Chains A and B, each alone.
Chain A
Amino acid sequence: MLEVKAITQRFGGVTALEDVSFGVKASDITGIIGPNGAGKTTLFNIITGIYTATSGTVHLEGKNVTRMVPEKLATLGMVRTFQNIELFGKMTVLENVMVGLHTKGTSGILSSALRLPWQVKEERRLREQAHHWLSFTGITDLADAEAGSLPFGKGRLLEIARAMALEPKLVLMDEPAAGLNSRETLELARLIQRIREAGVTVALVEHDMELVMDICDAIVVLNLGRKLAEGTPQEIQENPEVVSAYLGEG
């Protein structure tokens, strides 16, 4: 599904990532872990087209998407969520999801201003689809609340609903469990599994080891901008290098 090859990213004199390569298999849940400053979020920003890597390539389903902008990647079926949730705060929860359906609509300025019949029909269709994704993530009752007023945990769910509205092939989640309590984290784990069951590939950056070991099929470990290890949760847990990187030994 996703093939990352020899990604290097330098910011001025600082090397954030060096020669990082890994793959994400279709319908897997792949976790990317590593201590703070390992370069996980930078890697996500490169894959999703927000940063341009100094060198290296990214392929999505065999297609080279290395220098593609996020809006283009969205039409190819790649979408992400953010570490510090990026909602459209002044819009309602339903409207947020409807922005996620932006690429599913075609109406432009003229047809919208004139409320042409097919535009009205399209609006109705988008609204119904948005409601579907709200119920998928279990926040239907918040449809008309202002997104900026949501508690953090609900905001996370909304971000996932909005991302799912694109009907992506691949969802990248940047620390989806950050700031959630243990009950919310458990619900999130179930939601991510349901997303996979819906045929969507998931890659996530996460600090919550329990969550990662619990739901991931494959794990990539980064440390100080380099790939330290790659394997199943079992293999990673038994890898002495990983253990020492986390415990600060050696």
Chain B
Amino acid sequence: MHRIDSRDKKKLFRHEWVKFALFSLLIMILPVLFEGGYLLNVFIFVGIHTLLAVALNLLLGYAGQISLGQAAFFGLGAFASGILTATYGQNPWLMMVVVAAAVGLLAFAIGFPILKLKGHYLAMATLGFGIIVYIIFNEAVELTGGPSGFSGIPNLTVGGITFDSDFKNYYLIWGVTLVTILLSLNLVNSRIGRGLRAIHDSEVAARVMGVNVRLMKVQIFALSAVISSVAGSLYAHTMTFVSPTSFGFNFSVELVTMVIIGGLGSIYGSFLGAALLTLLPEFLRAFQDYDIVVYGFLLVFMTMFMPGGLVRGIPSLVQNLRARIGGGASDA
């Protein structure tokens, strides 16, 4: 119960900027530390996964609405970008925008009926959507190459630079991810962000306050689809090859796990969750086939012992340990 006057508020605001600047700096110097090793490649995936986790967190962590179909939006972005550039020779940057807009519109259209549902029913509906899209990826062989995948996607170019190495792609993807993080931080601390969090805490009270709950849910669902689609386009142009298995149900679950483990309603938490779940398989190769079991275990463990996610759990763990060590020392 302390009061923060306007000067403190400004300081607080500056504090947010410092945090973001430090985070960006860390991301920017990481490749130097990796010296172009394979960790650099892993961190490209951390970037893409962070983008996807932030997108889902806006929906799940802030508005409190589950989606088990995020991999579908990611896949739609990847396949559409790949096909339009490789098969039809369109401009990749233009297509990235066009595809994102189209995926956003699709999400907007299906969002109106789907987001009327709540809880398990919403989970089932988004799951169903994800599965339908996954089947299309597999069955539309003419277009997508089917289960064997789609190759020959061109790298992105800007001016004379072609993004054809891990080093360049790292900066490309993290550039987009950092901008998205910044914009998301702005968004969650605005009239819209308050509306979303209000829906999460009490939908009926939000409605009484004049928040158009239905429209807002659909808008944020569409926004998360747009971001996921952009992530998909970037993924396609980086990998130059895409296959349906990357966009299945397992990956949707993995994304939900990232958001929950990192911390619901925390943008930086999404990075932590994405980093952990991307790095973990690299260190636990033996679990590869049982990854879904490990994710399940992690989810159970986290919800039981760190319900706030890593972003809140770690500081309180450190505090507890410090208190315990401090207490032990004074006893001795």
Binding site for B on A (CB under 8 A): 48, 50, 69-71, 73-75, 79-80, 82, 86-91, 95, 98-100, 102-103, 105, 107-109, 112-115, 119, 122-123, 126, 140-145, 162, 166
Contact = CB atoms under 8 A, between A and B. Distances in A.
Contact of B208 (A74, A109, A140): A74
A123 B191 contact: yes
Nearest to B12: A144
Nearest to A109: B192
A87 B202 contact: yes
Contacts of B201: 87-91
Q: Residue among B184, B191, B195 with the most chain A CB within 10 A?
A: B191
A142 B1 CA distance: 6
B22 interface: no
A73 B2 CA distance: 35
Interface stretch (B118-126, B136-144, B209-217): B209-217
Nearest to A79: B208
A118 to B, nearest CB: 12
9 contacts: A79-B208, A80-B208, A86-B202, A87-B205, A88-B202, A90-B200, A102-B209, A108-B192, A166-B210
The interface residues of chain B, by DSSP majority, are classed as: helix
A119 B186 CA distance: 11
B3 interface: yes
Given A71-B210, A105-B191, 12 more contacts: A87-B202, A88-B202, A102-B198, A107-B191, A109-B192, A112-B192, A113-B184, A114-B183, A122-B191, A143-B3, A144-B2, A166-B209
A86 B184 CA distance: 27
A113 B183 contact: yes
A112 B211 contact: no
A109 B187 contact: yes
The 3 closest A-B CB pairs, nearest first, are A74-B210, A112-B190, A103-B210
B133 to A, nearest CB: 24
